[in-house]
Amino acid sequence: MRRAAGSSARTRHTSADRGPHDTNVTRDDRRPLRERILAGETLFGLFLDLGSPMSAEMASRAGYDWLVIDLEHGAATEADLLGLLHAVEAGGAAALVRPQSGERLRIGRALDMGARGIVVPRLNSADEAREAVTFLRYPPEGGRGVALRARGADLGAITHDRVGEVNRRIVGLVQIESTGALADANAIAAIDGVDVLFVGPADLSHSLGVPGRFTEPLYREALGRVIAACRAHGKAAGILLYDTAAVPAYLELGFTFVGIGADAALVADGAARALAAMRPTAAK
């Protein structure tokens, strides 16, 4: 198993000074997220579904390495994106965006606003992934539109001769959530600029005809194919999990870029648990 992330440059906790109730999560955010991914660190994140800057900042301050602002399934729209990016950045996590689709304009808008990476959804082949990756970087490495006064280019601080610096820090994540993407997993992992193959368990299981049955051999074999492709090309295997008890087993399989649910799920679960705990008391 690859090594876990190190300690934060701002908040360092060793096993000796952590108390039994210390919930601070250590995070090595001194290096860009893409560098840490390609170095093989184990990185934990959360999807932001609520569209709430307060929720985004609280999650970031909790110590997650990365947070995905979900414009595909979450409540936020592009109009909310700038405030959410500010909130994530205030807490120190890397802000990623999953746009509504992998179109050039959708990806470019998120990057211009300041996203540090893009989770590209609903791709079905290596050719589609190859095209989407060109939208992530300025020429000559890609076909991203050049607007250097945008937040994503440090509001004009990046000059024309330094756009390569921006290119190098952008994280490219391609979701593996269809049979077509799964069939092309090895070819997708070989694409320069694809840093993470990110499994969407719900969509992939439905595509395979075993909806929500994550212990089925067919689904497990699919995970193995994704992990093997990533290992062959030095990329990270990612996945979204809602059961924290299952995370260690997936780390052992080889996943190193792990989403631990979403802020909406944490609110729903916490609210349900709190009420359930009070029901017996009220009945007395």
Catalytic machinery residues: 73
Say which amino acid occupies 218: L
Answer for the pair 53, 266: CB distance below 8 angstroms, yes or no: no
Q: What distance in Å separates the CA atoms of residue 64 and residue 127, rounded to the nearest whole number? A: 32
Parallel, antiparallel, or unpaired for β 196-199 and 66-70?
A: unpaired
Quick one: tokens of 208? 């395979």
Q: What distance in Å separates the CA atoms of residue 244 and residue 257, rounded to the nearest whole number? A: 14
Say which amino acid occupies 138: Y
Quick one: tokens of 201? 């368990």
**Structure-token match 């992530």, residue found:** 136
Q: Tell the burial category of 48 from Cβ atoms under 10 Å away from its Cβ (0-12, 13-18, 19+).
A: buried
Q: What distance in Å separates the CA atoms of residue 32 and residue 45, rounded to the nearest whole number? A: 15
Chain-centroid distance, C-alpha 4? 16
Reference 139, options 170, 116, 164, 156; nearest CA is 164
Residues 110, 260, 61, CA angle at the centre, nearest 5°?
70
Answer for the pair 61, 51: CB distance below 8 angstroms, yes or no: no
Q: What distance in Å separates the CA atoms of residue 102 and residue 87, rounded to the nearest whole number? A: 24
